Amino acid sequence: MFDISLVNLFVDKSCTNVNFTLFERAMTTTIVWFRQDLRIDDNPALYAAAREGDILPVYIYDTTLEKQHEPGGASKWWLHHALADLSSQLDNRLFVTAGNPFDILKNLCEENNASHVVWNRMYEHWAIQRDSNIKQALTENGIRVKSFNGSLLWEPMDILKKDGTPYKVYTPYYRKGCLNAEHPRLPLASPSLNILPNIKFDAITQINSLKLLPTIPWDTEINRQWRPTSTSAKDVLSHFINNAIESYSDKRNLPSVKGTSRLSPFLHFGQISPNQIWYAVHDAFDGDVSSKGVDTYLSEIAWREFSYYLLFHFDDLGVKNFNPKFDAFPWRESQAELTAWQKGQTGIPIVDAGMRELYQTGYMHNRVRMIVGSFLVKNLLIDWRLGERWFWDCLLDADSASNAASWQWVAGSGADASPYFRIFNPILQGEKFDKHGTYVRKYCPELAQIPDKYIHKPWEMPNLLLNECGVKLGKDYPEPIVDLKRSRQRALDAFATLKETA
């Protein structure tokens, strides 16, 4: 549960309207502290600051974070490029540095005679606490501080049940809570900026000094697949709206088809806002968003909101079972099996293809995320938190809210979770969503010659035929590390022990 006084410090409802007036004085210098809002358009903090006077745009790589809150390897890669992009849009006058945010902000205020600091809010508990402390300390130093909502359609504290408590189930949260609440803020125009100081930084050197890029070049495939700029985010969005959204509900589950928007990393870093997405979709369909594909897509955007909502109201979502019954769950410990899963060497083709896609490209198709998650938690009985950590390190779109909520959902320990007995059969999932093994063949090329009939279960193939396809199980491709049928039963048995103790 959250501390209400902290929330009050953190929230200032008076500035959630579009037509806010930030400060009384006509001309001021305002530090805009960029965090996960790396865009110029529809940026409430930047917009408010620009209307009032000069701005000093700053990005601080926070070196005071606890280890588990530091961005993972893939995230850092994206951040590097997103910062370079933002800086170039700010005429190479984004001040990039690393250290303790409070010290840096305070010094910058003094050096530049800046009297105001603004930022867009984050919703992790540690970030709320950090930001509250900074706000208080700066205020005590005579500096005025305002925070804004730049990353959510609906503020978590505004959507509550009639009894004043937060929703725990997605559908009523979205359909009753969100859709009946005030409409989300319309996207803000790009402000004209008067940036101080009037010098250009060597942006690349500054950003390079954060050492966000990998020392060994594992990012070649990632470089090929992604353009981590805010311009690219808009292109990706309009391409999705023009070409794919209407068939979204049919194609979003097919990992060999680009049927999803692939906007998640842009959203995570705030290179595009949910408001921009929301209204671009509404505008494209003249407000009629009732068709299957469009409705399904918007409800996925709302799942992201729900994840932030849960993280805000239940701040240890990423580390503690939402359903405490799971605290007694008999997780297995097997480093060998965890490693096999991480490296895509489980012997189950659709699982291995997904894990290899993740490792090679920094991304995994959503349907496959569910399949590999179910496999880790249910077939291997490995704690969902270990899966969460691996995704955190490998995903370009790693996001503490979505990651925590989704893993708890998969594990069955979360709010509105998939019931524990819903155990995916990766063979059937493969046959259903990757019928011809296109996806498997792409990421498991050693299986490329295997016919459709056996592509999701090569161990059932007669040895003679396997030889013809050039595959020797246990050598070219692993034997399955678990028996699917037996491990399914083992999971059900393990789950049954919870029921008895409950």
Partner DNA sequence: TGAAATGTTGGGGCG
Partner DNA sequence: ACGCCCCAACATTTC
Give residues in contact with DNA (CB under 7 A).
170, 300, 303, 367, 370, 418, 421-425, 428-429, 432, 484-485, 488, 492, 496
Q: Residue 235: which residues within 8 A CB-CB, separation 6 or more? A: none
Is residue 331 among the annotated active site residues? yes
> Min. distance of Cβ 374 from DNA in angstroms?
8
Q: Under DSSP, is residue 118 helix (H, G, I), strand (E, B) or coil?
A: strand
| Residues 6+ away with beta carbon under 8 Å from 311 | 123, 124, 125, 317, 318, 400, 401, 404, 405
CB of 330 to DNA, least distance (A): 16
The distance of closest approach from Cβ of residue 469 to DNA in the complex, given in angstroms and rounded to an integer, is: 25
Ordered DSSP codes for 438-469: HHHHHH-GGGTTS-GGGTT-GGGS-HHHHHHT
Nearer to DNA, 162 or 485 (CB): 485
Give the relative orientation of helices 73-89 and 230-243 as an angle to the nearest 10 degrees: 100
The size of the chain, in residues, is 502
Is 119 labeled as catalytic in the residue annotation?
no
Of 152 and 302, nearer to DNA (C-beta) is 302
Give the nearer residue to DNA in terms of CB position, either 12 or 300.
300
The one catalytic residue in 226, 390, 407, 409 is 407
Quote the least distance from Cβ 446 to DNA, whole Å.
24
- 261 versus 429: smaller Cβ distance to DNA: 429
Closest C-alpha among 125, 407, 122 to residue 269: 122
Distance between CA 144 and CA 136 in Å, rounded? Answer: 10
Q: Which residue has the tokens 């990992």?
A: 255
Q: Is 409 a catalytic residue?
A: no
Choose, from 300, 425, 446, 459, the residue flagged as catalytic.
300
Query: Residue 157 or 494: which CB sits closer to DNA?
Result: 494
Q: Which residue lies nearer to DNA by CB, 282 or 488?
A: 488
**Catalytic-residue membership of 467:** no
Identify whether the C-beta of residue 98 lies closer than 8 Å to the C-beta of residue 46: no
**Residue of 384, 390, 392, 409 marked active site:** 384
Strands laid side by side in the 95-99 sheet: 95-99, 53-62, 28-34, 116-120, 144-148
Give the distance, in angstroms, between the CA of residue 399 and the centroid of all CA atoms in the same chain: 3
**Catalytic residue list contains 126:** no
How many CB atoms sit inside 10 A of residue 499's CB? 9
Catalytic residue (one of 112, 331, 425, 446)? 331
112, 303, 425, 459: the catalytic one is 303
Q: How far is the CB of 424 from DNA (least distance, A)?
A: 5
- In 3D space, the residue among 433, 422, 435, 431 whose CA is nearest the CA of residue 250 turns out to be 433
Is 407 one of the annotated active-site residues of the chain? yes
Degrees to nearest 5, angle at CA 333 with 307 and 482:
90
Smallest gap from residue 417 Cβ to DNA (A): 10
Distance, in Å, from the CA atom of 434 to the CA atom of 422, rounded to the nearest integer, reads 20
Residues with a catalytic annotation lie at 300, 303, 331, 366, 384, 407
